[in-house]
């Protein structure tokens, strides 16, 4: 795939085994490995004695048990959720029942735009539509507990309700699925939106955090440089789409074949949605045209 990004596909966690990965930050990997989740969702525990949990993960018995074991004899006052995909938030109710923690997040799951006529949301199965945070956070809002202070950073794009959380005490960022070291993020309409996603990447380039802790994969060192490579990668993908359209109109399968050389067959569907996300953005900017609203079955050409 895209080797213009300095990916790190090593991984240091064993599912079910909690590990202190930085002073006051513990990580626990759920055993839900897949082509979309890498080695599994990483749940973070921040603090000692009084702790916050970030992304409790999937509703999986082993993971929930390991997470509750890890915080035994500690007070869990806060559960923060980066976004409402089924590998991140469905364990929340069981963690809340066991700990009495308050939940924080941007809001319930929602699509980035209304469905077009005749369009079905093929991403429904990936969403946790039950999550409702006790406290709905706005961009820039502070969540603090004993020993930790988080700044909520609205980072829509992967989902409309995605948030990253900056830990002020150690100047690190919990980046959820917005920025991950092992892979690009999936931006798939209608849940995701490319224009939002790019804005959310640019937003991070103005920040000071050097290390990111993502929802999947190892921590990202030198994160600002990594984010810049993410931005360049998307710009390159857009160029590839335009390059192909310069040769004549094309549908999405044709564009996927032209752009994603040697792609894992299991990821072709996701690649098509990612191309659709770019095309939606290009159509909105008047660079590319199609008949009717941009759709997965549409034919695309240069021009307004």
Binding footprint of Zn ion on the chain (CB under 5 A):
85, 177
Please choose, from the candidates 235, 172, 142, the residue with its C-alpha nearest in 3D space to the C-alpha of residue 46.
Answer: 172
We find the least distance from the C-beta atom of residue 36 to Zn ion, in angstroms, to be: 8
We find the least distance from the C-beta atom of residue 85 to Zn ion, in angstroms, to be: 3
| Inter-residue contact 146 to 49 (CB < 8 Å) | yes
Torsion over CA: 197, 80, 134, 87 (sign): positive
We find the least distance from the C-beta atom of residue 63 to Zn ion, in angstroms, to be: 16
We find the least distance from the C-beta atom of residue 304 to Zn ion, in angstroms, to be: 33
Nearer to Zn ion, 245 or 273 (CB): 273
Nearer to Zn ion, 85 or 237 (CB): 85
| Rounded distance between C-alpha atoms, residue 110 and residue 199, angstroms | 19
| Rounded distance between C-alpha atoms, residue 111 and residue 121, angstroms | 9
Please choose, from the candidates 152, 155, 153, the residue with its C-alpha nearest in 3D space to the C-alpha of residue 112.
Answer: 155
Q: Indicate the residue whose CB is closest to Zn ion.
A: 85
Nearer to Zn ion, 270 or 279 (CB): 270
Nearer to Zn ion, 44 or 300 (CB): 44
Nearer to Zn ion, 84 or 99 (CB): 84
| Rounded distance between C-alpha atoms, residue 225 and residue 57, angstroms | 28
- Distance set, CA 117 to CA 201, 267, 299 (Å): 30, 26, 17
We find the least distance from the C-beta atom of residue 164 to Zn ion, in angstroms, to be: 12
């Amino acid at each position: 795939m895209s080797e213009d990004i300095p990916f790190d596909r090593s991984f240091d966690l064993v599912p079910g085994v909690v590990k202190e990965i930085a002073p006051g930050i513990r990580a626990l990997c759920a055993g839900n490995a897949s082509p979309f989740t890498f080695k599994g969702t990483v749940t973070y525990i921040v603090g000692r004695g009084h702790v916050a949990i970030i992304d409790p993960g999937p509703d999986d018995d082993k993971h929930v048990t390991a997470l509750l074991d890890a915080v035994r004899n500690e007070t869990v006052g806060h559960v923060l959720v980066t976004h409402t995909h089924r590998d991140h938030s469905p364990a929340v109710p069981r963690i809340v029942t066991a700990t009495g923690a308050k939940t924080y997040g941007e809001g319930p799951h929602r699509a980035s735009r209304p469905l077009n006529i005749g369009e079905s949301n093929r991403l429904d199965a990936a969403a946790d539509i039950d999550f409702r945070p006790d406290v709905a956070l706005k961009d820039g809002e502070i969540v603090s507990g004993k020993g930790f202070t988080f700044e909520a950073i609205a980072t829509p794009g992967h989902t409309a309700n995605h948030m990253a959380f900056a830990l002020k005490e150690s100047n690190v960022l919990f980046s959820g699925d917005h920025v991950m070291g092992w892979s690009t993020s999936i931006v798939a309409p209608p849940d995701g939106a490319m224009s939002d996603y790019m804005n959310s990447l640019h937003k991070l380039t103005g920040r000071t955090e050097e290390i990111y802790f993502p929802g999947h994969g190892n921590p990202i060192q030198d994160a600002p440089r990594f984010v810049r490579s993410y931005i360049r990668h998307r710009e390159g993908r857009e160029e590839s789409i335009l390059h192909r359209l310069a040769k004549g109109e094309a549908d999405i399968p044709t564009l996927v074949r032209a752009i994603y050389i040697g792609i894992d067959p299991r990821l072709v569907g996701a690649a098509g949605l990612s191309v659709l996300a770019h095309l939606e953005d290009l159509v909105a900017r008047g660079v590319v045209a199609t008949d009717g609203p941009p759709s997965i079955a549409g034919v695309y050409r240069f021009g307004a």
